[in-house]
Amino acid sequence: MKKTTPLLLLLVFGLLAGVFGGCTAQEGGLVATVVVTATPTARPEGAKTVLRVGTGDSGEGLTPHFKIIEMFEAANPDIQVQLEPVGSGDYYARILTQIAAGDPPDLLQIGDDAVPMFVDKGAFLPLDDFIASEQYPLDTSIYLPGVMEPGKWNGVQYLLPKDFSPLAIYYNKKLFDAAGAPYPQEGWTWDDLLATAQQLTLTDASGNVTQWGIQLPGPWTTGFEYWVAAAGGSLVSEDGASFVGYMDSPAVQRAVQFYADLYHKYKVAPPPADMNAFGGGNSEFDSGKAAMRLFGRWPQASMKQNPNIDLGVAPLPAGAVRAGVLFWGGFGISSLSENPEAAWRFLRFYTGAEGAEVWKDWALPTVKSVADSSGLSSDPIEGVWLNELNHLAPRAYVFTPYWGQTADPALRRVLESVILDPNANVAELLATAAQEAQAALADVQQ
């Protein structure tokens, strides 16, 4: 037993890093003080306010952060900014323990679907007074449409946008040209998508598929919200109280059925190689064996360099309605920050026009003037992504902070089931999922 206990204890300890709140807070305080006095820039001690910034970015992704911080510090000699990156997988675990310990960074980066939970529990300061302040106001009309929305909760702005990605359809012009198929254009529909995918799905003499029409993101639930929105459905009531009557509605059934049919009935989509978070594992598009791919903008840079691909990007096809969904990351000020004023000054720089000038080389910029002046708005590829902002439908998480722990796993099971089983009964699966989600919601709210 002696050997074994430490292992167990370690496990339990991992869970409970937040317990010694007081202790950690003191240590954190000490560290901060040391940094101030040890700062190499020879300015008088105590004259600087030190801001801590938490981010889940890592590696190369930190470069734009450092660039903006450098620019900001040059313009604001009274403030010093410390970036605290945490490897993406552990980021939320880290800031949750920091908040529980009473010592989170002054500014925190949060992804879209985590916003309601953190804001609802009071982790962030409302920004409306800062935005309207006399000395450091922020003109919110500089932003592209839709990019401020994910930072709001109950109509109040809590976070400002860092970067974002809509969904769109990548296509490989080589394969389209070889098949003599026209490139997809704005205004195309699900029927057009299906026809195009069928034309581009090729089989050999023995019936084996040699080229697929479209690579889909498997059971990736958030990506699937596009199909629901385009079918004219929604997964949850606007008051966030009901999944039954929404997740199992005819529109959602049509969305799931069409998605499943692309895999099984029409056989234009390759089956997933694994069922991991992004339904990833598929590499058919990258290896030139799939003509289209539905996804966000994240892998675009590597696709452009891929010799198998002559890349084009097409708008999302319309179902019953023309719709799309947004993926988003933003920054807010911790409600435990001791320097909210300084934090605001940095936040408005970080996420404003100055910051956007730097971000634009790494992701889509959030500020319209930057998108226009850099030529991105008129670019044949980037312009398509930016145009998707005009068609955004709200994602399910904006209606309830409990989406992620109640309905999302239920929807995921439905998608996994229909992808695995060609004979799955969509209506039945959705009815069960809606009830499961409803029960889970009642349980969480109890």
Partner 1 sequence: MTNTPTPRIQRKPSGRLARREALTFYLLISPWLLGLLLFVLGPITASLGFSFTRWDMLTPPEPVGLRNYARMVEDRLFWQSLSVTVRYTLMYVPSELIGGLLLALLMNQVSVRGIRAIRTIYYMPSVLSGVAFVVVWMWLFHPEAGLINGALATFGIRGPRWLADPNTALTALWLMSLWGLGRTAVIYLAGLRGIPRELYEAAAMDGADAVRAFRHVTLPMLTPTIFFNLVLSIIATFQTFTSAFVATNGGPLDATLFFVLYLYRKAFQDFQMGYASALAWVLFLIILGLTLLVVRSGQWWVYYEGEQP
The site for partner 1 (CB under 8 A) is made up of 1, 3-4, 6-9, 11-13, 15-20, 23, 92-93, 96-97, 99-100, 117-118, 121-123, 219, 270-277, 281, 283, 287, 404-405, 412-413, 416-417, 420, 443-444
| Residue 206 three-state SS | coil
Least distance to partner 1 from the beta carbon of 337, Å?
A: 15
Least distance to partner 1 from the beta carbon of 86, Å?
A: 12
Report the alpha-carbon distance of residue 270 to residue 209 in Å, rounded: 9
Least distance to partner 1 from the beta carbon of 179, Å?
A: 22
The nearer residue to partner 1, 139 or 443, going by C-beta atoms, is 443
The nearer residue to partner 1, 69 or 419, going by C-beta atoms, is 419
Cβ partners under 8 Å of residue 219, min gap 6: 272, 275, 279, 412, 415, 416, 419
The nearer residue to partner 1, 10 or 301, going by C-beta atoms, is 10
A 10 A CB-CB count for 185 gives: 9
CB of 105 within 8 A of CB of 350?
Answer: no
Residue type, 209: V
Least distance to partner 1 from the beta carbon of 233, Å?
A: 24
The nearer residue to partner 1, 220 or 350, going by C-beta atoms, is 220
Cβ partners under 8 Å of residue 204, min gap 6: 210
Report the alpha-carbon distance of residue 173 to residue 432 in Å, rounded: 42
DSSP state of 111: E
The nearer residue to partner 1, 6 or 145, going by C-beta atoms, is 6
Least distance to partner 1 from the beta carbon of 333, Å?
A: 15
The nearer residue to partner 1, 36 or 100, going by C-beta atoms, is 100
CB of 256 within 8 A of CB of 415?
Answer: yes
The nearer residue to partner 1, 189 or 405, going by C-beta atoms, is 405
Least distance to partner 1 from the beta carbon of 430, Å?
A: 16
Report the alpha-carbon distance of residue 79 to residue 50 in Å, rounded: 6
Least distance to partner 1 from the beta carbon of 1, Å?
A: 6
CB of 171 within 8 A of CB of 292?
Answer: yes
The nearer residue to partner 1, 142 or 420, going by C-beta atoms, is 420
The nearer residue to partner 1, 13 or 136, going by C-beta atoms, is 13
Report the alpha-carbon distance of residue 53 to residue 443 in Å, rounded: 35
Least distance to partner 1 from the beta carbon of 340, Å?
A: 18
Tokens for 338?
A: 């001791």
The nearer residue to partner 1, 108 or 389, going by C-beta atoms, is 108
Residue recorded with tokens 């409306």: 128
Least distance to partner 1 from the beta carbon of 91, Å?
A: 10
Cβ partners under 8 Å of residue 302, min gap 6: none
Cβ partners under 8 Å of residue 434, min gap 6: 243, 244, 245, 246, 247, 248, 410
Least distance to partner 1 from the beta carbon of 90, Å?
A: 8
Residue recorded with tokens 């660039």: 67
Report the alpha-carbon distance of residue 397 to residue 221 in Å, rounded: 12
Least distance to partner 1 from the beta carbon of 31, Å?
A: 17
Cβ partners under 8 Å of residue 88, min gap 6: 56, 57, 58
> Which of 416, 419, 396, 417 is CA-nearest to residue 408?
396
End-to-end CA distance of the chain: 40
The nearer residue to partner 1, 69 or 415, going by C-beta atoms, is 415
